[in-house]
Amino acid sequence: MFKIAIVSAAGGVGRSTLTASLATLLAQREIAALALDFDPQNLLSTLLGSDEASLGGLLPDFLTGKEFGKSALVNSNEVVCLPFGRANEASLVTFEQHLRAEPEWLKKCIAQIDYPSGAFLLMDTPRLPSPFVRQAMVAADLVLAVLAPDVRSLALLPAVETTLSRCAPESQLIYVVNGLDSTRAVQSDLLARFRSTLQMRLFPYPVHRDEAIPRAVANSMNLQSLSPDSLVAHDLNGLLNWLLVGPASSLDGRVQV
């Protein structure tokens, strides 16, 4: 199973939407996809079609001693989603204390999942700094760091790299620019700065801003079904193709591009 942690140091850059979109595209190619919500906001299942955020999930299972993964849901596209679950402040504090004491807790839990060798695990996370992000980085084969085309993301680049170097120095780190409006000169200039700064560590093609995404979310539909010919659908398929022929190319048992 190829494990991807989707992270960022800035909020509002589209981590959860990117996680849900990639998981759906994988499932549509008949590649087993598990989307794991490791963000206390507990919204990933709603982006995959649930009417409301799930009460059950990995946090309630942890608190009650239930086996990891047993609260997973399967949507109409055959994406398996493990929600974070409903959390109150006391339970969240308890869980965070456990994560700090056991830095490989998530990695060990994932190792217990019986999944095909060619499957993908996509881990949605809150923004840095967070014990949830550190756990996901430790468990990941690839860290996909999401950048908005703004100066905030540019300024916060060192935060991502510092966290990775401290907790998972062996994991591969790739950046992707999400939500680019190519009609705005300032965003095109920032994209050029990202390319100059990150070079080969930046996915070469940005994911463009497109109204198809909020429409898909509002209608509880996947992007490919609602707007298969949209620019953002093209961009996301390009990102997935790159993952399949690049970082995840050594996987056995997956469908080829």
**pLDDT, tens only, 183-205:** 999 999 999 999 999 999 999 99
Which string of DSSP letters, residue by residue, matches the chain?
A: -EEEEEE-SSSSS-HHHHHHHHHHHHHHTT--EEEEE-STT--HHHHTT-SS--S-SHHHHHHHTPPTTTT-EE-TT--EEE------HHHHHHHHHHHHH-TTHHHHHHHT----TT-EEEEE--SSS-HHHHHHHHH-SEEEEEE-SSHHHHHTHHHHHHHHHHH-TTSEEEEEEEEE-TT-HHHHHHHHHHHHHHGGGB-SSPEEP-THHHHHHHTT--HHHH-TTSHHHHHHHHHHHHHHHTTTTT-SSPPP-
Specify the CATH number for the domain of residue 113.
Answer: 3.40.50.300
Within a domain: residue 251?
no
Q: What is the pLDDT of residue 251?
A: 62
Distance CA 54, CA 85 (A): 6
Residue indicated by tokens 């008949």? 30
Q: In the structure, what pLDDT confidence band is assigned to residue 231 with cuts at 50, 70 and 90? A: confident
- The mean pLDDT value for 208-224 works out to 72
Which residues, in sequence order, are bridge partners of residue 143? 5, 173
**pLDDT, tens only, 22-52:** 999 999 899 999 999 999 999 999 888 887 7
- Check: pTM over 0.95? Answer yes or no: no
Please check the confidence at residue 98 and state whether its pLDDT lies above 80.
Answer: yes
Q: Are 138 and 8 in contact (CB under 8 A)?
A: no
Within a domain: residue 62?
yes
Which of 4-13, 219-228, 230-239 is most confident? 4-13
Q: Total domain count for the chain?
A: 1
**pLDDT, tens only, 163-172:** 999 988 888 9
Domain that holds residue 54: 2-245
Size (the chain), residues: 257
Within a domain: residue 254?
no
Within a domain: residue 53?
yes
Please check the confidence at residue 107 and state whether its pLDDT lies above 70.
Answer: yes
Within a domain: residue 253?
no
Higher pLDDT, 212 or 145: 145
Please check the confidence at residue 256 and state whether its pLDDT lies above 50.
Answer: no
